[in-house]
Chain A
């Protein structure tokens, strides 16, 4: 009958516990309030680690605090839409697909290039009016040479039985996936937006639907565990897998590699403009990009003064950047909602 003693907690103990819980819950708020610097949204994973390690000290040297906040591009958009007038981030990191949405919904503002010392170090194609391009993500196919032969391209994945049941795909919410699907639509359909041809292809090859997961990050975990052997990726994904000691290779599809510039944008209503510009300037500086081009991130440098590493040149050279496939994101965004719903219903069976 006295066994309830096992669960008893003193009033003082409960008070400490409650105070501790409340204090830990308040930490993010106090961190932001105390810093007074910029809050920069960054992709989670290797991007987050690299930006925190490389850029935070550089921005600190410029006299500002920098908080790196990890979030996928779609999540960044959702969060700033949830707080109109009081954005949770001062800057966003995204590709043209999300940038088009952000401009349409009036969530980002044009920048003042005179506030960026390193602006002139960028090629004009990287000097966007809504913010600088910090790298170009080149997309293709990752594969495990221990488990499958080198794929020639997207067609090969569907027609060569060696890949049956070993390929993983993600839904249309992923930029990497959308770029691959527009390429597949060109191969099997009438053009990049003929997604019916892609849906039919998946219906005809149901073994490909078994490996559909939510995100590229999740695919990296599955690749690591040997659960999948092929997935659509960027060169950065493969560089990261290689840095973990995994046998991963990157292949450019024979029909061309889709590419996406990654840009830093200034949020409309940002209260810390000077700190945000200091962060932007640091991200395009030679000092930062010299570090970010190294493994495990191996980001393609947009600063002209930064030489490519042999590792990056093995994937792509500066000349090749111009020949990559750059999708029409405005056209994609018009159809994306419909494609997402159709694909999800198809995958769920």
Chain B
């Protein structure tokens, strides 16, 4: 079977080599480029500066915080879809997909209005008496996480819906009949079923958040620096491409390690069962 299928895979394989593997190899090559041959100097420069290491940690933390936020928002929406009727499902799918059709830049700039001093959040806080004066969440990590959660929410909802769509709703009724309460049903029945979808969503959200240059720069401001901004600075402002390549490789490896761990979890039989 393998031999007969190979010719069909060949075009995709060639495309992958030409447009993915080769640029990646060039990037890695750049990161070792020195005047006298291969060098580790650029990596040493990156890790030799405590500021850079802090930026790397901040980027990973932003990714994890957004993963937590999107999970807390996405799971209830996916369950609502699962339990809902045809009309509700269509509305939920529409509301999930429509933002994805809007440019990230537009959504990011919309968040400037929402998070600003005269925005609805600030007005609600003043109206509820929680703050005495208008408060801006712009240029704060909290504001950035809120924006990232909204922007990346479809990336976790869609895999969850895909998983739950294959699961009969009667499963919860069977568990109920067997005497399980709602919390027990969620933890012992639904969560293991949803785990493959959650893992896929976490991978997508983490990768998207940690590389989301525009939103990080616009909502996070210059005080919250993340790795993509560092790379852009080295390429577009300082023209130090070898260092930029080294930073990109570090980001790729650190994100890659996390993604490999999550992927391994998604293949763990004891963890995800037969879902």
B233 to chain A: which residues have CB within 8 Å? 173, 340, 344
Q: Which of A205-213, A285-293, A299-307, A318-326 contacts B (4 or more CB under 8 A)?
A: A205-213
Is the beta-carbon distance between B51 and A227 smaller than 8 angstroms? no
With a 10 A CB-CB cut-off, give which of A3, A75, A170, A221 has the most chain B CB atoms.
Answer: A3
A226 CA / B117 CA spacing, docked (Å): 8
Is the beta-carbon distance between A78 and B239 smaller than 8 angstroms? yes
Residue of B with least CB distance to A75: B236
Q: Write the B141-165 contact mask toward A (1 if CB under 8 angstroms, else 0).
A: 0000000000000000000001001
Is the beta-carbon distance between B109 and A213 smaller than 8 angstroms? no
A41 CA / B109 CA spacing, docked (Å): 25
With an 8 Å Cβ cutoff, the count of chain A residues facing the other chain is 35
Is the beta-carbon distance between B112 and A213 smaller than 8 angstroms? no
Q: Which residues of chain A (169-227) have a CB below 8 Å from chain B? A: 170-171, 173, 209-214, 218, 221-222, 225-227
A81 at the binding interface (Cβ < 8 Å): yes
Other A-B pairs beyond A214-B217, A348-B54, 10, CB < 8 Å: A6-B93, A7-B162, A221-B112, A222-B138, A225-B118, A226-B117, A227-B138, A337-B240, A340-B238, A345-B51
B109 to chain A: which residues have CB within 8 Å? 221
Q: Which of B181-189, B193-201, B218-226, B265-273 contacts A (4 or more CB under 8 A)?
A: B218-226
A33 CA / B169 CA spacing, docked (Å): 55
With an 8 Å Cβ cutoff, the count of chain B residues facing the other chain is 34
B21 at the binding interface (Cβ < 8 Å): no
**Selected contact of B113 from candidates A75, A101, A225, CB within 8 Å:** A225
B54 to chain A: which residues have CB within 8 Å? 348
Is the beta-carbon distance between B136 and A227 smaller than 8 angstroms? yes
A31 at the binding interface (Cβ < 8 Å): no
Is the beta-carbon distance between A227 and B165 smaller than 8 angstroms? no
Residues on B close to A: CB < 8 A?
Answer: 51, 54-55, 89, 93, 109, 112-113, 116-118, 136, 138-139, 162, 165-166, 168, 217-218, 221-225, 229, 233, 235-241
Is the beta-carbon distance between B165 and A4 smaller than 8 angstroms? yes
B229 to chain A: which residues have CB within 8 Å? 214
A212 CA / B221 CA spacing, docked (Å): 7
How far apart are B87's CB and chain A's nearest CB, in angstroms?
Answer: 12
Given contacts A78-B235, A344-B233, contact A171 B116 (CB under 8 A): no
A218 CA / B109 CA spacing, docked (Å): 10
How far apart are B79's CB and chain A's nearest CB, in angstroms?
Answer: 14
A211 CA / B140 CA spacing, docked (Å): 11
Is the beta-carbon distance between B166 and A171 smaller than 8 angstroms? no
Is the beta-carbon distance between B222 and A347 smaller than 8 angstroms? yes
Q: Write the A1-29 contact mask toward B (1 if CB under 8 angstroms, else 0).
A: 10110110000000000000000000000
A99 CA / B28 CA spacing, docked (Å): 30
How far apart are A224's CB and chain B's nearest CB, in angstroms?
Answer: 9
A347 CA / B217 CA spacing, docked (Å): 13
A3 to chain B: which residues have CB within 8 Å? 89, 165-166
A75 CA / B233 CA spacing, docked (Å): 10
A1 to chain B: which residues have CB within 8 Å? 166, 168
**Selected contact of B165 from candidates A7, A170, A212, A337, CB within 8 Å:** A7
Is the beta-carbon distance between B222 and A213 smaller than 8 angstroms? yes
Given contacts A74-B236, A75-B236, A226-B117, contact A347 B51 (CB under 8 A): no
A78 CA / B235 CA spacing, docked (Å): 7
Is the beta-carbon distance between A340 and B89 smaller than 8 angstroms? no
How far apart are B234's CB and chain A's nearest CB, in angstroms?
Answer: 10
- 29 inter-chain pairs at a CB distance below 8 angstroms, sorted by A residue, are A1-B166, A1-B168, A78-B239, A81-B239, A81-B241, A173-B233, A209-B223, A211-B139, A212-B221, A212-B223, A213-B221, A214-B217, A214-B221, A214-B222, A214-B229, A221-B112, A222-B138, A225-B112, A225-B117, A225-B118, A227-B117, A340-B233, A344-B222, A344-B233, A347-B222, A348-B54, A348-B55, A348-B224, A349-B223
B113 to chain A: which residues have CB within 8 Å? 225
A77 at the binding interface (Cβ < 8 Å): yes
A1 CA / B170 CA spacing, docked (Å): 11
Residue of A with least CB distance to B224: A348
With a 10 A CB-CB cut-off, give which of A170, A214, A218 has the most chain B CB atoms.
Answer: A214
With a 10 A CB-CB cut-off, give which of B168, B229, B237 has the most chain A CB atoms.
Answer: B237
Is the beta-carbon distance between A348 and B238 smaller than 8 angstroms? no
A101 to chain B: which residues have CB within 8 Å? 239
Given contacts A78-B239, A225-B113, contact A347 B223 (CB under 8 A): yes
Is the beta-carbon distance between B239 and A77 smaller than 8 angstroms? yes
A197 CA / B19 CA spacing, docked (Å): 48
